[in-house]
Structures are given as C-alpha cells and as structure tokens.
C-alpha cells in the first residue's frame, strides 16, 4: 500500500491575542483519496464553483495537468497557496510509480511497468516508427478472456483500471517519450469493452480541447470481439476508432486461440461490425496476429479477403510476439506471401514489423518477469486445425 503525507495546519487559542501554529503530518492511504485525473472539465468547474473560485481556475489547472505535466500541486504557482493546499487535501495527482523500463536497442520500443497505489501492476508500451509514435495503454489489471497467445490472459482478471489510472499512463509516457504521441491505442493489458465506461471517459479527457487536446481520430479502442460494446460504441456515436482482434478468419480456428469466440461467434461478430459501419460510416480495423503454421496459409488469406468484402475495413497484419515456441512467428517469406495474397483485394493492408520482440514486449510479459511467473500457454494442435 502506498501512502502520502498530508500536512494539516492547526491554530490553537493560547489566551488573549496569542495563537500557536502547529503543522501535523498524517499518513493517508493513497487509494482512499480521489484522483484529480478522474475528473472531466465540467466536474472540475463544479468543484471550483463550490469553493467560490472564479471559472478561469479550471483552465489554469487543466493546463497544468495536461499541457505542462505538473506532478505536484505546489507546482501550480498561478494558484494561491491556500488553494494549492486545498487541492492537495482533496485529491491525489500522481497515483503510481515506474517499477521497470526496458528499451529495445533494435527499434526503440519501450516497455514500462507501473505499480499502482494498491500495489497492483500494469504495463504500457511506447512504439516508435518513422512518422508515428504510438502509446499502447492498458485498461484492466489482467484479463478474463484468456487468449492463448497472450501472456496477460494467464493472469486472469484482477480489477478494472480507474479513469485516472488510464489517463495517468499517457501523462507519464509523454514525459518519457522521445517524441510526442501521434496515436493512442487501448491495446495493452485488459479488454477495453469490459471496462467501457472508464475507457470512454478517459478517452474523452485525453481529447478535451482544454487539456491534452489529442485528436479523437487518433485514439483507437481495440476489442477481442465484445459485441455489446461494439454496438454501444456505434449507438453512442463515439468519435474514436474501433479495432477488432480477429486473428483467424474462420470460427473453428478463432475458437482455438480466443475462447470469447464461443460466446460471440465470428458470424455474429461480423454482423456487429457491419452494424457499426452502418451507424458510423467509419471503417473498422481488423487486427490479424499471424502465427506460423496456424493462420498464415494462402487459404487463410482467401478467407480474410472474403471477410473484408463483407465489412469495409482496414487490415493490420501483425507477426506474433511469441510468448514461447508454442506460438512461433512466421518467416519473412511466409509473411510476404500472406501479404501478397490479400494486398490487391483489400481496401488497405498494413503489415506491421515485429516491434519489441527482443525485449518480450507482448502484453503481460514484463509483468510476468517481474512477478517471476512462468507463462504456460496451451499448445495448438496443428492436426486439429486441419479439420
């Protein structure tokens, strides 16, 4: 458990006109305090209105939080000392600390491990490309979906991240990154659609014009296929991008690696994707993790092309960041063959280079190493896959 030390100034009447000033320090569990990063700008306006403060205080605080990156309330020097003290009494500003950081000497990918106020741990990743810097952030501690090629799934679900914890990942990463982010993707630990309210609220805070002012079109919500979340996102007209982790172009193969396919079969998932496009007119991105000998054949490519004709989409082909030899990455020859098979038939295809493979940047692997846990994925039966 992490504590903060809160200073409380007391005045005692010692008789007559004399007063004694005393400052007492109290250890307060951080998780018992409200995180100021949980608040949207209108809620912060209400807070200052209750204090009788002028409306421009909100702009000062939001700029300090999101543009200047202040980490302590005493850095807000445009505020009075008494107001800074009041903020420190009412809110936490930074709720977790960096535990570990690994940077790839090959491509600069940086994997970060954070410890939260309750001692739990999460991961974030900074991915560098020529014209892009992508922040990959977590939405939950662990994950309940148990995708077989994902280390996070072996943890199980521990809890959802709060709004402030999601937002703080971005603020902390922004300070560490070599360049400002061009994209934010909810593709770290956890299933974003199972923490829907907090994820959407955090995304709105990150995009607020008075704060970080991040483009809503550059924020992507990725799901393994939670149909109610996809439909809700469409019905609410959310301005963010949607990505669906497909990873197999037929139900049987998808079910072998993604147990969620039993609850939400591929046929129903594609109907939900069509519904999303009809409501929003936005192309979906299908993420396709390529695993050698499992989903990288020409026949798999043809099935993927067929899906792309049902749903206007982009396809990201991502060579697997293997958590061990049960899920081998495809050879360069296999990757190029697969790309060629879908390239001419699909609206847009991106083949991602394997980022951070040398530092085990796949979700959950740094956490597992820190916890000294052995990740034991279930081995695919290539014989079963043929039927």
CATH number at residue 26: 1.10.150.530
Would you state the pLDDT for residue 385?
32
How far is the CA of 45 from the CAs of 53, 71, 78, 209, 363, in angstroms?
A: 9, 20, 17, 15, 37
Is the pLDDT at 239 greater than 80? The verdict is yes
What count of other Cβ atoms lies within 10 Å of the Cβ of residue 257? 23
Q: Identify which of 184, 100, 67, 198 has the alpha carbon closest to the alpha carbon of residue 137.
A: 184
Cβ neighbours of 261 (radius 10 Å) = 23
Confidence of residue 6 (pLDDT cuts 50, 70, 90): very low
User: Do 287 and 192 belong to one domain?
Assistant: yes
Number of domains observed in the structure of the chain: 2
Residues 271 and 172 in one domain: yes
pTM (2 d.p.) = 0.85
Q: Are 10 and 150 in a shared domain? A: no
Q: Are residues 252 and 287 in the same domain?
A: yes
Q: Which two tokens mark 265? A: 């079969």
pLDDT given for residue 131 in this prediction: 93
Tell me if 222 is assigned to a ligand binding site. Answer: yes
Q: Model confidence at 8, in pLDDT bands (50, 70, 90)?
A: very low
Q: What is the mean pLDDT of residues 12-30?
A: 47
pLDDT at 324: 67
Active-site annotation holds for 123? yes
pLDDT at 356 over 70: no
Listed residues 46, 63, 92: the one ending a domain:
92
Task: Provide φ and ψ at 153, rounded to 5°.
Answer: -60, -25
Signed CA dihedral, 378, 379, 381, 385: sign only:
positive
pLDDT digits (tens, 9 = 90+) for 187-206: 999 999 999 999 999 999 99
Phi-psi region of 54 (alpha: psi -120 to 50; beta: other; left: phi over 0): beta
Digit-coded pLDDT (tens) for 165-189: 999 999 999 999 999 999 999 999 9
- Binding site annotation covers 321? yes
50 with 115, same domain: the answer is: no
> According to the model, what pLDDT value does residue 298 have?
95
Residue 371 has pLDDT above 70, yes or no: no
Strand 133-136 with 121-128, pairing: antiparallel
pLDDT of residue 37: 97
37 with 79, same domain: the answer is yes
Q: Which entry of 53, 136, 168, 363 is annotated as an active-site residue?
A: 363
69 and 145: one domain? no
Are 243 and 291 in the same domain? yes
Dig out the tokens for 195 from the structure. 């923490």
Which H, E and C letters describe the chain, residue by residue? CCEEEEEEEEEEECCCCCEEEEEEEEEEEHHHCEEHHHCCHHHHHHHHHHCCCCCHHHHHHHHHHHHCCCCCHHHCCCCCHHHHHHHHHHEECCCCEEEEEEECCCCCCEEEEEECCCCCEEEEEEEECCCCEEEECCCEEECCCCCCCCCHHHHCEEEECCHHHHHHHHHHHHHHCCCCCCEEEECCCCCHHHHHHHHHHHHHHHHCCCCCCCCHHHEEEEECCCHHHHHHHHHCCCCCEEEEECCCCCHHHHHHHCCHHHHCCHHHHHHHHHHHHHHHCCCEEEEEEECCCCCCCHHHHHHHHHHHHHCCEEEEEEECCCCCCCCCCCCHHHHHHHHHHHHCCCCEEEECCCCCHHHCCCCCHHHHHHHCCCCCCCCCCHHHHCC
> One of 123, 165, 168, 204 is an active-site residue; which one?
123
pLDDT at position 33 is 82
Give the model's pLDDT for residue 368.
Answer: 55
pLDDT average, residue stretch 77-96: 95
Residue 374: give its domain's CATH number.
3.20.20.70
Catalytic annotation on 313?
Answer: no
Mean pLDDT of 98-105: 94
Closest by Cα among 237, 166, 201, 221 to 43: 201
Looking only at the bridges linking them, the beta strands covering 3-13 and 140-142 are: unpaired
Q: Average pLDDT, whole number, for the chain?
A: 87
Model confidence band, residue 154 (pLDDT cutoffs 50, 70, 90) = confident
CA neighbor of 186 nearest in space, from 139, 253, 154, 149: 139
Residue 190 assigned as binding residue:
yes
Both 61 and 156 in a single domain?
A: no
Integer Cα distance of 162 and 160 in angstroms: 6
Q: What is the pLDDT of residues 293-352, one digit of tens each?
A: 999 999 999 999 999 999 999 999 999 987 666 889 999 999 999 999 998 777 788 887
Same domain, 101 and 83: no
Say if residue 136 carries a ligand binding annotation.
Answer: no
Last residue of a domain, one of 40, 75, 92: 92
Q: Containing domain of residue 52, as a range? A: 3-92
Q: Supply the pLDDT for residue 31.
A: 53
Computed from CA positions of residues 92, 94, 100, 104, in that sequence, does the dihedral angle turn out positive or negative? Answer: positive
Rounded distance, CA 193 to CA 360, Å? 25
Does position 18 have pLDDT exceeding 70, yes or no?
Answer: no
Nearest by Cα to 244 from 214, 267, 213, 220: 220
pLDDT band (50, 70, 90) for residue 151: confident
Q: Tell me: do 104 and 65 sit in the same domain.
A: no
Share of the chain above pLDDT 90, in %: 74
Q: Which of 92, 123, 146 is the last residue of a domain?
A: 92
Q: Is the same domain home to 120 and 231?
A: yes
147 carries a ligand binding annotation = yes
Going by pLDDT thresholds of 50, 70 and 90, the confidence category of residue 153 is confident
Nearest-5° angle of CA 285, CA 288, CA 291? Answer: 170
- Is residue 150 annotated as involved in ligand binding? yes
State the pLDDT at residue 2.
43
pLDDT-based confidence at 146, cuts 50/70/90?
Answer: very high
Which position has the higher pLDDT, 4 or 207? Answer: 207
């Amino acid at each position: 458990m992490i504590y903060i030390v809160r200073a409380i100034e007391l005045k005692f009447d010692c008789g007559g006109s004399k007063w004694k000033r005393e400052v007492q320090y109290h250890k307060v569990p951080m998780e018992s305090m409200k995180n100021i990063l949980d608040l949207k700008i209108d809620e912060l306006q209400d807070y200052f209105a209750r204090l009788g403060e002028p409306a421009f205080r909100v702009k000062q605080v939001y700029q300090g939080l999101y543009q200047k990156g202040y980490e302590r309330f005493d850095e807000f020097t445009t505020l009075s000392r008494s107001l800074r003290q009041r903020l420190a009494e009412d809110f936490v500003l930074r709720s977790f600390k960096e535990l570990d950081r690994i940077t790839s000497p090959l491509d600069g990918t940086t994997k970060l491990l954070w410890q939260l106020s309750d001692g739990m741990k999460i991961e974030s990743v900074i991915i560098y490309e020529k014209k892009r810097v992508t922040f990959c952030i977590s939405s939950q501690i662990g994950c309940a979906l148990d995708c077989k090629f994902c280390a996070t799934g072996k943890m199980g679900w521990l809890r959802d991240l709060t709004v402030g914890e999601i937002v703080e990942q971005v603020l902390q990463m922004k300070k560490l990154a070599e360049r400002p982010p061009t994209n934010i993707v909810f593709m770290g630990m956890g299933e974003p659609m199972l923490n829907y309210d907090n994820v959407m609220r955090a995304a709105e805070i990150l995009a607020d014009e008075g704060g970080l002012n991040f483009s809503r079109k550059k924020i992507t919500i990725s799901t393994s296929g939670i149909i109610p979340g996809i439909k809700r996102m469409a019905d609410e007209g959310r301005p963010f991008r949607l990505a669906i982790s497909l990873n197999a172009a037929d139900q049987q193969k998808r079910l072998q690696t993604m147990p969620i396919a039993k609850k939400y079969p591929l046929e129903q998932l594609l109907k939900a994707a069509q519904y999303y496009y009809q409501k929003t007119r936005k192309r979906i991105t299908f993420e396709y993790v390529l695993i050698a000998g499992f989903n990288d054949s020409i026949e798999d490519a043809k099935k993927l092309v067929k899906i792309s004709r049902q749903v206007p989409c982009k396809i990201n082909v991502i060579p697997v960041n293997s958590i061990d030899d049960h899920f081998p990455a495809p050879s360069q020859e296999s990757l190029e063959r697969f790309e060629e098979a879908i390239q001419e038939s699909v609206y847009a295809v991106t083949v991602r280079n394997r980022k951070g493979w040398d530092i085990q940047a796949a979700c959950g692997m740094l956490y597992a190493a820190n916890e000294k846990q052995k990740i034991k994925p279930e081995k695919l039966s290539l014989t079963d896959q043929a039927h």
